[in-house]
Amino acid sequence: MLPAFRPQWDARCGAEQLYNAYRQSKLTLEEFEGPRYQRIGHIQKLIADGILADDLRHCRAAERGADRKFSVVKG
């Protein structure tokens, strides 16, 4: 389909780029495998911390009522 296309990256180059970025940012294995970088784990932590309600709404929004619409304030 693209006979003139010559990729400059392969899987190894991509993996090396990620590895170097993780090392440069000093990301630890525990952080990488923790809830911050795993969507379900992160959501479970937000629920456990009381930031999200069981229906996944922000707790402040849940306190106002799930069926209430928000209005736009023009300034």
Q: What is the pLDDT of residue 59?
A: 87
Q: What is the pLDDT of residue 68?
A: 47
| pLDDT tens over the chain, length 75 residues | 899 998 888 999 999 999 999 999 999 989 988 888 888 888 998 999 999 999 999 987 655 554 444 444 454
Q: What is the pLDDT of residue 61?
A: 60
Read off the amino acid at residue 37.
Y
3-state secondary structure of 69: coil
Its pTM surpasses 0.85? no
Place of tokens 């923790």: 34
Q: What is the pLDDT of residue 13?
A: 95
